[in-house]
Amino acid sequence: MLKRRKIVRIICLILLIIVDAVAVLLCVNELTEKGKLEILPILRTVAIIGASLISIIKMYAGQSRLKGTEYRAIYKKYIKDAFLTDKSQEKRFFKALDLYNEDKYSDCIKILDKLLCELPNNKDMFAVLFFKAKCYDDRGMYEPAIELYERALSIWEHSGVASNLGTCYDSVGNVQKAIDSYKKSISLDPNNPYPYNNIAQLAILEGEYEIALDYAYKAIELDANLNAARKGAAIALAMLGDNLGYREAMRGGRLTASDKRDVINYLANMGVDIENL
């Protein structure tokens, strides 16, 4: 959520720069054509640039740093009541989360490493191990992320961590361990739709379409808006020869045009006669 806000601010900044550039170019164009500038275009350009500067100040200077309680709300699954007994460690931990949310992973890891040397409390250590793993995971460094997720799971068997671990195993090509991790995630939280969907996607890659369909349906049952699972179900139905089920999945009104193209492209690559489905 925090990274989405950062992306939105960057897009707004780019748009403001484009607007300012257009205003300046219009003035330059008028100066080139007429050899002079009238007062109205100058005032218009100054007003546009001034409004842009005010907007930029509001976007950045007005952004207050998140408080610990806000971090606990955002990452409540993983933080809970960690770092409540030592305010100094809590402050450093939330500083690390600031850096994590700014994609400054190396700086975040440095703080987390120092905390790990001090922590006797398993709740605190779990939170640190999880976010250190996330730093490596988000950078595509899956081997160290796997080790850290495994350590975190040895402290607290957490569905979200097991699911992340499965994704890392999948990324390094260890399909069986990925599936085992997703199944562990499901056993810890049967209402989490994502590990069901992840197993469905792996089953499709392995050509296990009946398994894929079963897990895709379970994911959809838990989250009707999970289109990745709907795409998986449509592919599995087509590959199993259930043309009616495939057509219903494709016409159900849930899949976007892009989703449907993905399904059709996959089936075409598998040699399926799309016209006769």
66-174 and 191-277 share one CATH topology?
yes
Q: Does domain 66-174 have CATH number 1.10.3720.10?
A: no
Q: Taking residues 17-22, what's their average pLDDT?
A: 69
Q: Does domain 191-277 have CATH number 2.40.10.10?
A: no
Provide the whole-model pTM.
0.74
Compute the distance between CA of residue 123 and CA of residue 232 in angstroms, rounded to an integer: 37
Q: Is the pLDDT of residue 118 over 80?
A: yes
Q: Taking residues 189-198, what's their average pLDDT?
A: 96
- Given pLDDT bands bounded at 50, 70 and 90, which one contains residue 2? very low
Q: Are 231 and 255 in contact (CB under 8 A)?
A: yes
Q: What is the dihedral of CA 218, 219, 222, 228, to 10 degrees?
A: -150
- Given pLDDT bands bounded at 50, 70 and 90, which one contains residue 19? low
The predicted pLDDT at position 95 comes to 93
Compute the distance between CA of residue 46 and CA of residue 115 in angstroms, rounded to an integer: 50
Q: Which residue has the higher pLDDT, 26 or 141?
A: 141
pLDDT tens sequence across 206-260: 999 999 999 999 999 999 999 999 999 999 999 999 999 999 999 877 888 999 9
The number of beta carbons lying within 10 Å of the beta carbon of residue 217 is: 17
The predicted pLDDT at position 214 comes to 97
Q: Taking residues 58-77, what's their average pLDDT?
A: 67
**% of the chain beyond a pLDDT of 70:** 77
Structural domain spans, the chain: 2-60, 66-174, 191-277
How far CA 222 is from CA of 185, 190, 191, in Å, comes to 15, 9, 6
Residue of 43, 40, 101 whose CA lies nearest to 71: 101
Q: Give the HSE-up count for residue 183: Cα atoms under 13 Å, Cβ half-sphere.
A: 8
pLDDT tens sequence across 136-188: 999 999 999 999 999 999 999 999 999 999 999 999 999 999 999 999 999 99
